[in-house]
Amino acid sequence: MSTREVAGVEVDLSPSRVALYGVLAAMVAFYLAPLESGLMTALKTNDAFFGSSPFAPPAPAGFTLAPLFEAWARLQGPLTNLNGALVNSLFMAVPATVLSAFLGSVAAYGLTNLEWRGQTAVLFLFVAGMFVPYQSVLVPLTRFWSVVGLPGLLAGVPLLADRAGLVALTVTHTAYGIPICTVLFRAYYATLDESMLEAARLDGASAAGVYTKIVLPLSVPIFAVTLIYQFTQIWNDLLFALVLVSQPSNEVVTIALNKLQGSMVSQFNLQMAGAFVAALPTLVVYVLFGEQFAKGVAGETQ
């Protein structure tokens, strides 16, 4: 035990320690290999990736940024292109993330910090909703949106007029995000100091007052966790976009990447570059907020 405590100062060179670090490092290589191989390939010319090891860095002669530029052009084009796939993904993922987190927060408050009978039954429906395979709602979902007739409803609305598919995606992601958001917030709200909320109630604060004045300001850390996790999930989804988006101008980035892969069959450098462009926002979010993402992940497990 004592060797462990001073491990920060002294280097423990016992064979078992060396083996332990060896295995951990090998696993780091295992998890990074597809990304490393992908990145190296994205930086190579056609000749170079056909002729060299997939994990070797490009030789000077085979180095190029052209695949990255072309992938960017195909998935987004100039940032001012408001029908680019990256902008479309942002357009639906940001509002859906914020809305589902907010709705999860108020639902969790109503189901945690206010005591009433039958709470468990309602909560049960929320938790079970987390686990529903989306295929089992897909046919009615498309039917629902075609009955609603969103393009007609939005025809006169500025900014949304030609974005019916994205609006449908936003609402759909919000609805299916509510269960996990509620569960994440509920676990956090259950740890709030009940006597503090009670004191506010005795001072005459309404349920809404307690929420906005006390609970909401204390929710910043769990909002961070939920927003990070939800954003990643919504950005990454393909299935809903496949069935809800029909206009090419409404394509989100997962659809665009899938098309790119399907049409550029042996252009592996371009495919890999596309994968990195599509994954860029989630990778950035993960590198900056990995801790929050890990907490969101753990929240799936209650």
Partner 1 sequence: MADDPGGRDAAADGGTVARGPALSSRLARSELVRSLPFWLPPALLMGLFVYGAIAWNGLISLTEWSGLQPNPAYESVDLSQYAALLSDPTFGTAVRNTVVLLVAFTLVTLALGLVLAVLVDQQVRFENTVRTVYLMPMSLSFVVTAVFWSWMYNPEIGLINVGLRSLGLGLLTQRWIADPQFKLGAVVFALVWQFSGYAMVVYLAGLRAIPTEQYEAARADGASTLRMYRRVILPQLRASTTSAAVVLMVFALKAFDFLFVMFGTNPGPSADILAMMMFREAFGKTNWAYGAAVATVLFAMALAVIGPYLYVQYRRGEL
CB of 173 to partner 1, least distance (A): 10
Q: Which is nearer to partner 1, 33 or 73 (CB)?
A: 33
* Buried-state track 61-99, b at ≥16 Cβ within 10 A, e below 16: ebebeebbebbbebbbeeeeeebbbbbbbbbbbebbbbb
Considering only CA atoms, which of 173, 172, 167, 136 is closest in space to residue 247?
Answer: 167
Q: Which residues lie closer than 8 Å to 89 by C-beta, 6 or more apart? A: 235, 252, 253, 254, 281
Is 282 one of the binding residues for partner 1 (CB under 8 A)?
Answer: yes
Is 288 one of the binding residues for partner 1 (CB under 8 A)?
Answer: no
CB of 286 to partner 1, least distance (A): 4
CB of 153 to partner 1, least distance (A): 17
Q: Which is nearer to partner 1, 87 or 162 (CB)?
A: 87
∠ CA 282-103-278, nearest 5°, is 15
Query: Considering only residues 86-125, where is the footprint of partner 1 by CB under 8 A?
Result: 103-104, 106-107, 109-111, 114-118, 120, 122-125
Bridge partner residues of 63 (DSSP): 44
Bridge partner residues of 44 (DSSP): 63
Dihedral sign computed on CA atoms, order 166, 168, 174, 180: negative
CB of 246 to partner 1, least distance (A): 12
- In angstroms, the CA 280 to CA 259 distance is 18
Identity of residue 215: V
Query: Considering only residues 216-245, where is the footprint of partner 1 by CB under 8 A?
Result: 232, 235-239, 242-243
Is 14 one of the binding residues for partner 1 (CB under 8 A)?
Answer: no
Is 268 one of the binding residues for partner 1 (CB under 8 A)?
Answer: yes
8, 78, 152, 156: which one contacts partner 1 (CB under 8 A)?
Answer: 8
Is 185 one of the binding residues for partner 1 (CB under 8 A)?
Answer: no
Number of residues that bind partner 1 (CB under 8 A): 101
Query: Considering only residues 25-64, where is the footprint of partner 1 by CB under 8 A?
Result: 27-28, 30-35, 37-38, 41, 49-50, 53-55
Query: Considering only residues 124-183, where is the footprint of partner 1 by CB under 8 A?
Result: 124-141, 143-144, 172, 174-176, 178-179, 182
Identity of residue 202: L
CB of 158 to partner 1, least distance (A): 25
Is 285 one of the binding residues for partner 1 (CB under 8 A)?
Answer: yes
* Encoded tokens for 33: 């290999």
Contacts 24+ apart (CB under 8 A), 77-83: 83/249, 83/250
- In angstroms, the CA 47 to CA 8 distance is 47
Residue that the structure tokens 């509510």 belong to: 178
211, 225, 244, 251: which one contacts partner 1 (CB under 8 A)?
Answer: 211
Find out whether 107 and 182 touch, Cβ atoms under 8 Å: yes
Is 298 one of the binding residues for partner 1 (CB under 8 A)?
Answer: yes
Q: Which is nearer to partner 1, 59 or 161 (CB)?
A: 59
